Amino acid sequence: MPASLSKADVDQIAAQVRSWGRWGPDDERGALNLITDETRNAALASIQGQRVVSCALPLPVRPSPSNAMPVAHHMLNSGDTLRGEGLEFTGDYFAIAPHGMATTHMDALCHVFSDGKMWNGFEPSDVRSNGARKNSIMSGKDGIIGRGVLLDLPGLKGVNWLEPGTPIHAEDLAAAAERQGVTVESGDILLIGTGRDARRTAEGEWSFDLGLAGLYADTLPWLRERDIAILGCDGVSDVLPSGVENSHQPIHEVIIAHMGVHIIDNMALDRLTTACRDLNRYSFAFVIAPLRLERGTASPINPLAVF
């Protein structure tokens, strides 16, 4: 088994993988810069018309053990209020707090601070009561198209899901990639499947006090070496609890604040996993369209895998 890491070890890794200034002192896009015209065109050229798969959870409108902040959905005009005369409309209102454990969302680079700094060394004062003046979700305002790669960890382990609190180590990522015959490359959108959807279907929702399967901090150098553009997971990428004393979510802290990599939380990867297994293809074109939320710290998204 890999050795346990301390907070000092995580801090040392953060210093080693930090990419501040890599794309200039004013950069707010971070590793999105790794998705180039060449990588985007290659991803689009890989489409064979085999399948399109949404990787988003339905918006949750009721509290559950795993979600204390559901989406507020109010009908403004419902069918039972219509008169049945001429042209009439129904309409509704949604209010969404994207962060948390339920809604599929992409974190902006202003979401996480490490020792008082966010991505590229920007200050806390750049995120004010009226929103983020630096590193907002508008870095993705024109949409993101790149090559997605799914690493199927339950498939590697021969199980339907990883139990809550199961750590995924660097050697597991390498073994999953080798098993699937895929190489994680610079500019890739890397998705980590833990089987959370299958466990939810079989056993129901659970409180995250019980934990989530996810990446242990020893995966950080591995991820940096492969120069990924975005990291996504059907959990929150971090294993919970983290297994590192005094470091609650080291993956979020280092990946976002030090490496400038956007994170997608709470993805639905069950249907994508099924498609990858059916087609024996674990790479695909991947499309993300964050909402144009001026000064926003995140956006709900409906990411699409296109085969």
Show pLDDT as tens, one digit a residue, over the chain (307 residues).
Answer: 577 999 999 999 999 999 999 999 999 999 999 999 999 999 999 999 999 999 999 998 888 888 878 899 999 999 998 899 999 999 999 999 999 888 999 999 999 999 999 999 999 999 999 999 999 999 999 999 999 999 999 999 999 999 999 999 999 999 999 999 999 999 999 999 999 999 999 999 998 889 999 999 999 999 999 999 999 999 999 999 999 999 999 999 999 999 999 999 999 999 999 999 999 999 999 999 999 999 999 999 999 999 9
Distance CA 189, CA 225 (A): 14
Taking alpha carbons only, the member of 146, 180, 143, 140 closest to residue 47 is 146
- Whether the CB-CB separation of 262 and 32 falls below 8 Å is answered with yes
How many H helices and E strands in the chain? 8, 15
What are the CA-CA distances from residue 305 to residues 146, 167, 251 (Å)?
10, 26, 24
CA dihedral 65, 66, 69, 70 (to 10 degrees): -90
Global pTM reads 0.96
Tell me the three state secondary structure of residue 10.
Answer: helix
Helix, strand, coil percent content, the chain, rounded in steps of 5: 30, 20, 45
The domains found in the chain, sorted by start residue, are: 7-58+100-306 (3.50.30.50)
Collect all residues with Cβ–Cβ distance below 8 Å to 89 and sequence separation of at least 6: 77
